[in-house]
Amino acid sequence: MNGILKEWFKVLKTGWNLLTTKPITYNFPPDMPITEETRGRHILDIEKCRSCSLCSRVCPNQAIEMVERENPDPSAKKKTVKYPQIDFSKCCFCGLCVEACPTEALQMTNASIMVAPEKSQFLYPPEKLVEPPDLKHPEPAKIKNASSWARSRSLWIINYFTGCCFIEAVPWVGSGFDMERFGLIVARNPRMADVLLIGGYVTKKTVKRILRIYEQMPAPKFVIALGNCPMTGGTYWDSFNTINRIDDYIPVDIWIVGCPPRPEAIGFAIVSAINHIQNGYTGKEEKVGLKDRSKLVPYREEAKLKPGEVLVPFGPQHPASGNFNLKLVLNGEMVSRAKPEVGYLHRGFEKLMEYRTWYQNVMIIQRICVLDGASYEVGYVSAIEKIANIEIPKRAKYLRTIQLELSRIQSHLLNMGLIGGATGFHTMQMVSWGDREKILYLLDKLTGARIYHIYNTPGGVFRDLPDDFQEETFQTIKDMRKRMKEYDDLFIHNPTLQQRTVGLGKIPSKVAINYDITGPNLRASGINFDVRKNSPYAAYDELDFEIPTFEEGDAYHRILCRRLEIDQSLNIIEQALKKMPKGPVRTKFGSYRTSIPRGEAISFLESARGELAFHLVSNGSNKPQRAKVRGPTFDPILVLLPELVKGNYLADVPVIYWSLDNCPADHDR
Ligand code: SF4
Ligand code: SF4
């Protein structure tokens, strides 16, 4: 009886909490959590512009072209002058051009929503750049007929996480933006889908899969492309392995500018698609004929199978795989063997870094792993600081620590949602991805961007804390601590989750060491090692925190380890904000052409997924001679995962996979 009363009390308490707390879901539009600090569309003060072209020369994406205009001074000898023209279909909003501009003629606004059916609409000549941004809402809908109305209100979306832009489609699945209120649902099968979402850069290997999906979709079908990479190549315009124009292969109905585009921009594209379809729009003409396309589509792979075995690909277009494929050979429902298939996200990163200057690399480096880009920024600039012997101000060390820990929290919350999805526990996905929005909001406020912060530069960080950051962060820490107790009741102590994860995918400590496993995956196997404690960097040696460690080594304890690390990260951020000394945040490094003395250095740090190392070599020039990255996911995923899934049920594969917390972009680079 007592037990029943206890349960009833819990239900009533939860109901009361729901009734008395502010809903997590944004009332989109008009509610859009864009901060004042967000880096968005530029604005040009033409009177201040000296036509020096520094902005154009620093731009790593070649988004700025200097174009000739009549000289406004009729008495001047030169009849023409040059001003910047920006192609936003190439711009990744890194802000390096604004930093380089000596007269502050070029500034950034926080207008970050650019959505259009034609790419040419994103070209801003100087005359357009001087105008203040004006957010145009999608054309209103006219109901054409009952079938187009019905179709527009129940679009089934198939997404392919081709690249990093998918990360900003994630909030639409969680409670922050909640796509189901628009009648949108995720289609599990291309044959049932109306809309194909292309989530970022497309490699040569990925484009074949896109074509295969597109071919299977019934007409009328619509394509929305996220980010600049599918439009123009974006940040990877000079990569040997990415394609620069997806519309050479399939027609695209709506383009969204961004790197990655914000969730609000994706929302605008979706509302725009709904309105277009309601108006009777049935999609763009196909450009590539079926006959041509079939040459590009791969044939079914022949596998050597024993009688009774079947080959099942887990990925690369699977809601739980990321753009990665684990080829599973099944006997009944059990996995007999598995082989990872990589390369869908390979961009040739280490080579791309050799083509850009030391300084320009600060805007691409975080793109190695979209799930925790902050760690890559700090790792890269720390190695440069070692070679060039640059001591960074103490305040910058604290700011880096805050950025890194916020990034760890959002990454662990994302993983919790993925575990929720893998175990059929979608409530957890909705809740943790909704809470993740609060952390991304703080990162946006601190750095100017939610995902790719571009906050670090050799010598420190680009900016100090915004005015009300401290107050807002303390409030979020308080809210998150309360939430963590609810997570434990709802998720961690949940008997169904425990049944699905306790004892699953065990990694004994010896195996963890032999396979070079690091991070929470190592600590859940009984090894108390964390670079933040064992070899402190940033401000970690001045802060007090614990390292959650467990002996069991199974999926459950890897999940638990990440959950408890969130508590520790909240403690670290709180202490850092209180203890942070006053002073400068940056030692001036030089310009985008600055050279680094001859030498080499290794930096390493504790990223959300484990130990991350950079080995940089300088021959004394302004570009790295060699850049080597050692990411945390190579060993657990490409070496150990096939062993771990062997002998387990097919249904447990996504659970084991996400308990290791993969970032396919990290091992593919
Ligand atoms: S913000 Fe970055 S990518 Fe965009 S124009 Fe400026 S330098 Fe180029
Ligand atoms: S860097 Fe500034 S002053 Fe120089 S061309 Fe660009 S906008 Fe004009």
* Lowest mean pLDDT segment, chosen from 293-297, 392-396, 478-482: 293-297
Share of the chain above pLDDT 70, in %: 94
Ligand 1 centroid distance, CA of 96 (Å): 6
Quick check: 116 pLDDT over 80? yes
Handedness of CA 249, 65, 623, 536 (dihedral sign): negative
- Distance from the alpha carbon of residue 355 to the mean position of ligand 1, in angstroms: 17
The residue whose CA is least distant from atom 4 of ligand 2 is 52
Indicate if the pLDDT at residue 295 is higher than 70. no
Mean pLDDT (whole number) for 401-430: 92
* Secondary structure (3-state) at 630: strand
Which atom of ligand 1 is least distant from the CA of 106? 6
User: Which ligand has its closest atom nearest to the C-alpha of 228?
Assistant: 1
Q: Which atom of ligand 1 is nearest to the CA of 39?
A: 1
- Which whole number is the average pLDDT over 404-429? 92
Instruction: Locate the domains of the chain by residue range.
Output: 42-109, 146-294, 349-668
Cβ–Cβ < 8 Å for 107, 45: yes
How far, in Å, is the centroid of ligand 1 from the Cα of 94?
A: 5
Ligand 2 mean position, distance from CA 97 (Å): 8
Residue 16 CA, ligand 2 centroid: distance in Å: 57
Structure confidence at residue 427 (pLDDT): 83
Instruction: Identify the residue whose tokens are 């029943």.
Output: 4
Cα separation, 411 vs 403, in Å, equals 12
The count of C-alpha atoms lying within 13 angstroms of the C-alpha of 501, restricted to the half-sphere facing its C-beta, is 31
- pLDDT (tens digit per residue) in 162-172: 787 888 887 88
Q: Report how far apart, in Å, the C-alpha atoms of 193 and of each of 174, 263, 284 are.
A: 20, 21, 16
Query: What is d(CA 648, CA 424) in angstroms, rounded to the nearest whole number?
Result: 17
Report pLDDT for 298.
Answer: 52
* Residue among 64, 106, 112 to mutate when testing ligand 1 (max atoms within 8 A of CB): 64
Query: What is the separation of C-alpha 563 from the centre of its chain, rounded to a whole number of angstroms?
Result: 20
Res 418 pLDDT > 60: yes
Identify the CA nearest to 196 among candidates 209, 214, 220. 214
Least distant ligand from the CA of 258: 1
pLDDT at 598: 95
pLDDT of residue 667: 85
Q: Is 50 in the pocket of ligand 2 (CB under 6 A)?
A: yes
The three-point CA angle 507-511-514 to 5° equals: 145
If 0-12 CB within 10 Å is exposed, 13-18 middle and 19+ buried, where does residue 68 land?
exposed
Mean pLDDT of 479-484: 93
Residue 260, preceding bond cis, omega within 30 degrees? yes
What does the alpha-carbon distance between residue 486 and residue 482 come to, in Å, rounded to a whole number? Answer: 7
Tell me which ligand sits closest to the C-alpha of residue 106.
2
Confidence of residue 378 (pLDDT cuts 50, 70, 90): very high
Centre of ligand 2 from the C-alpha of residue 98, in Å: 8
43 lines ligand 2 (CB under 6 A): no
| Most confident stretch, 289-293, 562-566, 630-634 | 562-566
pLDDT digits (tens, 9 = 90+) for 600-616: 999 999 999 999 999 99
Topology of the domain comprising 349-668: Cytochrome-c3 Hydrogenase; chain B (1.10.645)
- Determine the Cα–Cα distance for residues 325 and 339; give it in Å rounded to an integer: 8
| pLDDT reading at 26 higher than 80 | no
Ligand closest to Cα of 359 equals 1
- Paired strand residues for 116: 255
Name residue 62's amino acid. Answer: Q
Cα separation, 448 vs 342, whole angstroms: 33
Which atom of ligand 2 is the closest one to the Cα of 64? 6
Q: How far is the CA of 99 from the centre of ligand 1 (A)?
A: 10
Which residue's CA is the closest to the ligand 1 atom numbered 8?
59
The pLDDT score that the predictor gives to residue 4 is 73
CA distances from 473 to 153, 194, 392, 402, 441 (A): 38, 41, 24, 10, 10
Q: Which atom of ligand 2 is nearest to the CA of 106?
A: 7
Tell me the three-class secondary structure of 493-523, residue by residue. Answer: CCHHHHHHHCCCCCCCHHHHHHCCCCCHHHH
Which residues are near ligand 1 (CB < 6 Å)? 58-59, 61, 63-64, 86, 91-97
pLDDT of amino acid 11: 65
Instruction: Enter the tokens of residue 165.
Output: 């832009």
Supply the pLDDT for residue 204: 86
Model pLDDT, residue 141: 65
Nearest CA to ligand 2 atom 2: 101
**What band does 372 get if pLDDT is binned at 50, 70 and 90?**
very high
Tokens matching residue 480: 């998150």
Q: CA angle 657-663-664, nearest 5°?
A: 90
pLDDT at residue number 153: 74
Q: What percent of the chain has pLDDT over 90?
A: 51
In 103-252, beta strands by DSSP E: 106-108, 115-116, 123-124, 156-160, 185-186, 195-198, 222-226
* Cβ 94 vs Cβ 60: under 8 Å: yes
Lowest average pLDDT, out of 19-33, 419-433, 497-511, 633-647, goes to: 19-33
91-111 per-position pLDDT tens digit: 999 999 999 999 999 999 988
What CATH number has the domain spanning 146-294?
3.40.50.12280
> Whose CA is closest to atom 7 on ligand 1?
59
* CB of 331 closer than 6 angstroms to any ligand 2 atom: no
Over the chain, what is the mean pLDDT?
A: 88
Say how many Å lie between the CA of residue 258 and the centre of ligand 2.
Answer: 22
The widest CA-to-CA distance across the chain, in whole angstroms, is 95
Asked if pLDDT for residue 401 goes beyond 70, the answer is yes
Ligand 2 centroid, distance to 104 Cα (angstroms): 8
Q: By the 8 A CB rule, do 41 and 133 touch?
A: yes
Residue-wise pLDDT for 124-183, tens only, equals 999 999 998 877 776 666 666 777 777 777 788 887 777 878 888 878 877 777 787 778
Secondary structure in 3-state letters for 391-423:
CCCHHHHHHHHHHHHHHHHHHHHHHHHHHHHHC
- Rounded distance, CA 539 to CA 581, Å? 11
Q: ∠511-514-519 over CA atoms, to 5°? A: 80
Q: Exposure of 393 by Cβ count < 10 A (0-12 exposed, 13-18 middle, 19+ buried)? A: middle
For the domain made up of 42-109, give the CATH fold: Alpha-Beta Plaits (3.30.70)
Position in ligand 1 atom list of the atom nearest CA 90: 3
Tell me whether 0.90 is exceeded by the ipTM: no
Confidence of residue 190 (pLDDT cuts 50, 70, 90): confident
**Predicted pLDDT at 205:** 84
Residue 292 is encoded by which pair of tokens? 């041509």
CB atoms within 10 A of CB 340: 18
| Atom 6 of ligand 1, residue of closest alpha carbon | 97
Q: If pLDDT is split at 50, 70 and 90, which confidence band does 475 have?
A: very high
> pLDDT class for 294, splitting at 50, 70, 90?
low
Tell me the three-class secondary structure of 83-121, residue by residue. Answer: EEEEECCCCCCCCHHHHHCCCCCEEECCCCCCEECCHHH
Between 152 and 644, whose confidence is greater? 644
Q: What is the pLDDT of residue 288?
A: 55
Tokens of 248: 């050479």
Closest CA to 153 of 141, 164, 165, 138: 141
Ligand 2 atom nearest the C-alpha of 103 is 3
Q: Which residue has the higher pLDDT, 370 or 319?
A: 370
Q: How far is the CA of 449 from the centre of ligand 1 (A)?
A: 14
